[in-house]
């Protein structure tokens, strides 16, 4: 299986460098390269793409907003933010808009490829520099709380109370699929890998 990848970056050298890197891997295919968001979004409406490497600073749009539009076109598309900016607020906003990871442009070739493969396996990924930024206790409770919707906070509270997905679905008159989607969104937004860690973060930040 070949994974179809698109790059959105208005710096040709960046795009060419990533293309040369991807070309070395037989199961990765650079399907398209764009310098602005509109051409990308038009392309995505009629073509299948597995993963988008998205510069968050584009000449015609804010990449964070573009990320949200990509997910509206197809929620299954993996979006990895590419940036020179290491601010935690930017990373959190990208995650809030559905991104699957955030990579600094100064990352090594090996690390970039590793992040791509990790994302293809369903993981939320950060380059090492961003991992360090995210590890710093700088996000206040209000910021964490704002990441979650009212429904997600309700489900998190019920998870903390020990209810199963089926029990929560019955209690809230929702499908199990809907509850699972909310759970996955919370894991992504709060950058944790399991429900136990999710509950811990919720408790630490006074959400539950």
Tens-digit pLDDT profile for residues 41-60 = 999 999 999 999 999 988 88
Task: Determine the straight-line distance between the first and last CA of the chain, rounded to whole angstroms.
Answer: 43
Between 176-189 and 195-204, two packed helices, what is the crossing angle to 10 degrees? 60
pLDDT at 143 (0 to 100): 57
pLDDT at 145 (0 to 100): 61
pLDDT at 40 (0 to 100): 96
Domain architecture of the chain: domains with CATH: 3-134 (3.40.50.2300), 141-204 (1.10.10.10)
Calculate the average pLDDT of the chain: 88
Half-sphere exposure of 57 (CA within 13 A, CB side): 8
SS3 per residue for 118-182: HHHCCCCEECHHHHHHHHCCCCCHHHHHHHCCHHHHHHHHHHHCCCCHHHHHHHHCCCHHHHHHH
More confident residue, 90 or 28: 28
Tally DSSP H helices, then E strands, for the chain: 11, 6
For 167, the token pair is 């029990």
pLDDT digits (tens, 9 = 90+) for 108-152: 999 999 999 999 998 889 998 888 877 665 444 455 666 788 899
Cα torsion 147, 151, 152, 156: sign: positive
* pTM, two decimal places: 0.67
């Amino acid at each position: 299986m070949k994974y179809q990848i698109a790059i959105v970056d208005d710096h040709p050298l960046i795009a060419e460098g990533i293309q040369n890197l991807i070309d070395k891997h037989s199961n990765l295919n650079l399907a398209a390269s764009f310098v602005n968001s509109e051409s990308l979004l038009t392309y995505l409406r009629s073509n299948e793409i597995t993963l988008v490497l998205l510069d968050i600073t584009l000449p015609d749009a804010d990449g964070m907003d573009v990320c949200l539009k990509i997910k509206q076109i197809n929620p299954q598309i993996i979006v990895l933010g590419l940036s020179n900016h290491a601010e935690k607020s930017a990373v959190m906003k990208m995650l809030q808009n559905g991104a699957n990871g955030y990579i600094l442009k100064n990352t090594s070739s090996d690390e970039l490829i590793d992040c791509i493969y990790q994302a293809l396996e369903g993981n939320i990924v950060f380059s090492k520099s961003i991992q360090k930024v995210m590890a710093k206790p700088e996000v206040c409770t209000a910021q964490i709380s704002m990441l979650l919707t009212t429904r997600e906070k309700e489900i998190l509270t019920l998870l903390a109370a020990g209810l199963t997905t089926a029990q929560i679905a019955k209690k809230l008159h929702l499908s199990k699929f809907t509850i699972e989607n909310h759970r996955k969104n919370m894991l992504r937004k709060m950058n944790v890998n399991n429900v136990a860690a999710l509950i811990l973060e919720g408790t630490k930040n006074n959400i539950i």
